[in-house]
A and B are shown apart, each in its own frame.
Chain A
Amino acid sequence: MLDLPRRHLLRGGLSLGGLTFLTGCDISDTDAVQRALAAVSRWNDRVQAALFSGTRLAPTFDERLAVKDFRYNAWYPAEKAPRLDADTYRLRLGGLIADKRPWMVRDLHALPQESQVTRHVCVEGWNMIGKWSGTPLRVFLERVGADTSARYVGYECADGYYEGMDMATALHPQTIMAFSQSDAAIKQKHGFPFKLRIPTKLGFKNAKWVTTIFVTNTQPRGFWPDRGYNWFSGI
């Protein structure tokens, strides 16, 4: 049925596919490819910053849709999640902030709070609607005299996790320090005493067990962005 040139063609077609897929491992793992992909990722940061609106709100949902038994997600099991003590916990502040005095849990709880029922979207592809309540990060940053004309807010966590976001997102009205979830104090495995709830960012930017917040003009590194994920990760 097939004549000789056609056989060549088929073989050529197969090896072209092979180059791209079967040796895909080799292609992806070379430094040159990694650098090129990282360069496009930085370009995508800029595109996403341009798409982001500081006033456009994430869709909100009826409270009945909020999942109470929320999915736990980290690179280690929930049993190993940090256990922070409400009495000894201190939130440290750094960078371009006027009043860097550390904060205790009861002082944080005295701040004004808001609730939201929003969708958490994970970079892995799953999503879950939850209800969170807490203080808008903007209110907190203004209270401590942060330079909100700076470019970034970075944060560090009790488990060694670290992340950062652009100032526009930090000042977004739905970016909150969530002290409670489903109308109860946020569970230990979900970030007690608080997690940063950022409904305009992918889940991995929503850091748990936050122990340090700093303001900076240098783009803060992120745990997963250091492992190849996109830095801006807006949704």
Chain B
Amino acid sequence: MSAPVIAEQRHHFLLRLAHWSQALAILVMVGSGWRIYNQEPIFPFRFPVELTLGGGIKQTLSRSNDPGVANAIAWHFAGMWLLLAGFLLFVLYGVLSGHFRRAYFPVGPKSVLRDFIAAATFRLPHTLGVYNAVQRALYIGVLAAVLMMFVSGLAIWKPVQLAWITFLLGGFQGARIVHFMFMAAIVGFVIVHVALVAIVPKTLQSMVLGRATARAHAPAGE
């Protein structure tokens, strides 16, 4: 006889679809965005070209006299639709199903600080299906960051038609810097997120298959 199930995590199909759409889109957006950035860096560094998306530089130079920037932009302005679709589906599902209310709230600075200290000193237990305060804050934060990528992206894409957004972000260059900063925040989130999934692989199982359980003799995580 197997041990009793002590915890369970379920993810609705729509939520999983929205999650993986955004995951793929973020990979495309970051990879192509780094290639675009490299053409006109804001800061005194460029991203390694092997980590960028936009085709082989030699191929595109010979084909079109362009170091893959056209290609990267084409990826970027295709990926944005996938990101938008995934983001809208995620937010709509999260709000309408009550998932956000149940899983992300309540959350506040006190509980985030408490759980952050506990996690940093390896004293934070992981219960499958329950997000601790740091996770809640991060999930809310990354959704806000994606939203800001749309806002700052629109400011860069349409500085005339949507000039008021560009103005609010401090002008064209200001919008580029905001776009970069929220990209960095999202990349930071992805690194932490993937590292934690590697530590608690059951969360990957539930995000792929829809359900994962933890049993009494084999607690998830440590």
Contacts and interface: CB of A to CB of B under 8 A. Distances in A.
B74 A56 contact: no
B37 interface: yes
Interface string A15-49: 00100111011111100000011101100100000
Interface in A89-131: 119, 121-127
Interface in A187-228: 199-200, 224, 226-228
B56 A25 contact: yes
A25 B55 contact: yes
A208 B164 CA distance: 30
Contacts of B53: 20-21, 24, 27-28
B68 interface: yes
B119 interface: no
A230 interface: yes
B36 A125 contact: yes
Given A41-B78, A199-B160, 6 more contacts: A9-B201, A124-B69, A125-B37, A200-B160, A227-B64, A230-B74
A84 B53 CA distance: 40
Interface string B12-32: 000000000000000110010
Nearest to A118: B160
Contacts of A9: 198, 201, 204
Contacts of A227: 63-66, 70
Contacts of A5: 201
Interface of A: 5-6, 9-10, 13, 17, 20-22, 24-29, 36-38, 40-41, 44, 51-53, 56, 58-59, 75, 119, 121-127, 199-200, 224, 226-230, 234-235
A129 to B, nearest CB: 10
Most chain A CB neighbours (cut-off 10 Å) among B59, B78, B157:
B78
A60 to B, nearest CB: 11
B160 A40 contact: no
B211 interface: no
B52 interface: yes
Most chain B CB neighbours (cut-off 10 Å) among A25, A26, A121, A123:
A25
